[in-house]
Every structure is written in structure tokens, then in C-alpha cells.
Amino acid sequence: MRNPAEPESFRLVIPSQTRYLNLVTGMAKRASVVAGMDDATSAKVSIAVDEAVTNVIVHAYGGEADHLVEIELRFLPQALEVHILHNGRPIRENEVVLPDPREYVKHPRKGGLGLLLMSRFMDEIRFLETGGGSECLMIKRVV
């Protein structure tokens, strides 16, 4: 039985392979609609989830295909929480440097855009250390 004191949630565990990205983003998009978001907002959530899961596969696990990524979606009364858990190299909040888009346009280069999209499309992003693993927590409020 589900504990009624806890928010409704579900989770998906995928191998650390990019071929599952479309599955995860599709789920995130549908979950955003269920949470009460419009199509434009749900598209933003799905992009943010794509970027976050890609970061885990490519950077935290270094592209190694035999690990696991856990995606948990929690339906709060006024928000959707996306928890992305892994056991790879942690990303620490004090290491995160977001590029300035105005500078980026002046001096184009590859890389650094994923975190910027995540920060622009979600209301809150946190990088946490959990018991034995790491987590990227993203929150999108339902307005």
C-alpha cells in the first residue's frame, strides 16, 4: 500500500544508455501534463530531463553502458519533482558554472549548454549527495 502521507510518485530505472532517452523524456512530458502543466511547459520539462539524464550517462558514468539511472517523478500539490539518482561521479553545486548566453553568442563554443537549459526551463535545480549515491533534483511548479 502507498503511504498516503507521501506524494504520489512513480519511478523508472534505465541502463546508462542514451537509446533510452526518448523513453524517459516521453514519460516526463506525459507526467507534466498529468501534473497540470500545459503542452509548452511539459515540453520544457522533458528537455530538462533529457539534459539531466544525458549528463549522468555521459559525464557521471563517463559513457559506460552497464550502470543504472533511476528517475523518480513525484506529484506534489503545486509542483512536479524530478529526482535523478545515480552512483557515478557526483556533480557538486559549487562546481556548476552556467554560461552567460550573451557571452556565449559572442564567443561560441561546444558544451555547457545543457545545464543552462535545465536552469532556464525548471524552477529549481539542486545537486545532492544521497546515501551512497548522487541526485539531481529538479522542480517545476504548476501555475
| Residues that bind other proteins in the complex, under the rule CB under 8 A | 18-19, 21-22, 25, 40, 43-44, 46-47, 50-51, 54, 57-58, 101-102, 104-105, 108-111, 113-114, 116-117, 120-121
**In this complex, which beta carbon is closest to other proteins, that of residue 7 or of residue 99?**
99
Kindly give the interhelix angle for 39-55 and 113-121, rounded to the nearest 10 degrees.
140
- Cα angle for residues 57, 47, 7 (degrees, 5° grid): 85
Min CB(6)–other proteins separation in Å: 31
Question: In whole angstroms, how close is the CB of 75 to other proteins at the nearest point?
Answer: 22
Smallest separation, CB 94 to other proteins (Å): 22
Question: In terms of CB distance, is 90 or 114 closer to other proteins?
Answer: 114
CA 16 to chain centre: 14
H/E stretch holding 44: helix 39-55
